A and B are shown apart, each in its own frame.
Chain A
Amino acid sequence: AQTVTQSQPEMSVQEAETVTLSCTYDTSESDYYLFWYKQPPSRQMILVIRQEAYKQQNATENRFSVNFQKAAKSFSLKISDSQLGDAAMYFCASSEGYGQNFVFGPGTRLSVLP
């Protein structure tokens, strides 16, 4: 069974600074996907970034990038030039197998300080 762990319940960052959110996972599959989702107070989960396990290159989406360490089963999210709108809950998730079940971590609450 796949598991996802996020060890930082809360983080804060100064506006325009950089912050890194941590995530570790465990899976028995060799083919899987990893995701970071953002959940603002409106509750709607929004995909931030996705990483295919077979790709060695770290995914990047504008100010968001990941550090994917496959051997260590680590998948951290870096947010550069933080903006007030980045404040939200961030969930790390994994998906494995044909069934595509998405398993989520407990989340990290990010605050952005002006």
Chain B
Amino acid sequence: EAGVAQSPRYKIIEKRQSVAFWCNPISGHATLYWYQQILGQGPKLLIQFQNNGVVDDSQLPKDRFSAERLKGVDSTLKIQPAKLEDSAVYLCASSRGTGTGRTEAFFGQGTRLTVV
């Protein structure tokens, strides 16, 4: 099966500019996650979707970050305006997310964002 697809792989922007990342999860996976991974740290959850509804966005800086998952499939994460501290790798992951069994998350290759 095809894995989680993310684009772009790399992005360099100036502070105060806007940027958007795209994610296509594994087909049939109901749950989609966006994680922020700052260099040298573990991934931190930004937002979690179950189908097209938000399950957890408690750590999403809502004054500048937004995310949507239209039709419960693809998702976009936007930052506007970007700050220097937003420089990180943005990882998208998906999991089956339904039923009593809890399965692992499958990750994309991430987008490395550099804000200068």
Contacts and interface: CB of A to CB of B under 8 A. Distances in A.
Interface residues of B, number: 27
Interface string A33-62: 101010000111111001000000000000
Given A91-B43, A101-B56, A42 B109 contact: yes
Instruction: Report the contact-size class of chain A (Cβ under 8 Å from the partner).
Output: 20 to 34
Interface in A59-111: 91, 95, 99-107
Contacts of B55: 99, 101
Q: Which of A35, A43, A47, A104 has the most CB of B within 10 A?
A: A43
A32 to B, nearest CB: 8
B73 interface: no
Contact of A43 (B45, B89, B95): B89
Contact of A95 (B102, B106, B108, B110): B102
Given A101-B48, A103-B45, A105-B42, A45 B93 contact: yes
B42 A91 contact: yes
Nearest to B43: A104
A95 B104 CA distance: 9
Interface of A: 4, 33, 35, 37, 42-47, 50, 91, 95, 99-107
Top 6 closest pairs, chain A to chain B, by CB: A104-B42, A45-B107, A43-B110, A44-B109, A47-B104, A104-B43
